[in-house]
Structure 1
């Protein structure tokens, strides 16, 4: 049986997924209210010191798991903040599990979107342009990164959907 924290978390990620699909944006008010709601629910659970540290550790874990993807321009800031909110509800260990499952779901979504859009060549070109300087630097060649022109994107992924599916998957798996 799902507890109140899990039910509220699923409702929040479902709202984030629907908003991401409709507007390609996850509103900050949803993230902030979710973070505050997670803190309040953890405080009401009985152990104030442990609850605040669980909330903080989960939020930080969720944030820092997806921050490198944002810094590499592979993900939007709303997705990183959504994962922080999910971590604040679920805790650090489940945040790691949810992030891993979300990455698998997001990868499958990306492949399907490339398959249906027919933009394989552009995607391969972008990947080559991004990775070539990194590989050469690993080999000791001093190079500057080559920025992609803004028009080079082959499309965005509504990653809020992947995070929502990852969250539901981990919560469902936990209750089997």
Structure 2
């Protein structure tokens, strides 16, 4: 049986996924209210250190797990903040599990979207362009990274959906 914190979290990530699908944006008010709600629920939970060990550590873990993807322009800021909110509810270990599963789900979503849009060749070309300097550098050649051409993106994915599905899976499977 799911507890109240988990039910609230599932409702919040479901709303984030719906908004991300419809508007391609996750509202800051949803993230902020989720963070504050998680803090209040941890404080009211009665465990003395829960606000630090679960809320703070979880939100930092969630935030820093996806921050490199944002820095590499592979993810939007709303997705990073959503993962921080999820971490605030579930704690750092479960945040790591959610992030790993969301990465897998997001990868599958990206492949499906590339196949259905017919832009898989463009996606493959971009991947080769990005990875070629890394390969040359691993072989000992001092090569500078080559940026993608403007407009070379093959599109983004609603990563809020991947985070929501991963969160739901981790929360539900924790009770099996």
TM (norm. structure 2) is: 0.96
1:102-141 correspondence to structure 2 within 5 Å? 102-141=102-141
Post-superposition offset of 1:144: 2.0
Which string of whole-angstrom CA distances, capped at 9 and with x for unpartnered residues, describes residues 20-74 of structure 1? 0000011111111111111110000002333333211101111111112112211
Is this contact kept in 2: 1:58–1:90, CA < 8 A? yes
Post-superposition offset of 1:90: 0.4
Taking only aligned residues, the RMSD between alpha carbons, in angstroms, comes to: 1.1
70-79 vs 139-148, greater mean Cα deviation:
139-148
Is this contact kept in 1: 2:53–2:91, CA < 8 A? no
Structure 1: gaps spanning 5 or more residues: none
| 2:80 alignment counterpart | 80
Post-superposition offset of 1:148: 1.3
Post-superposition offset of 1:134: 1.8
The residue matched to 1:26 in structure 2 has which SS?
coil
Q: What is the rounded CA distance, in whole Å, between the counterparts of 2:40 and 2:84 in structure 1?
A: 16
2:159 aligned with 1:174, yes or no?
no
Q: What is the rounded CA distance, in whole Å, between the counterparts of 1:10 and 1:133 in structure 2?
A: 41
Is this contact kept in 2: 1:99–1:166, CA < 8 A? yes
| Residue-pair matches, total | 176
TM (norm. structure 1) is: 0.96
The residue matched to 1:47 in structure 2 has which SS?
coil
Q: What is the rounded CA distance, in whole Å, between the counterparts of 1:128 and 1:74 in structure 2?
A: 15
Is this contact kept in 2: 1:87–1:95, CA < 8 A? yes
Structure 2: gaps spanning 5 or more residues: none
| 1:50 alignment counterpart | 50
The residue matched to 1:103 in structure 2 has which SS?
helix
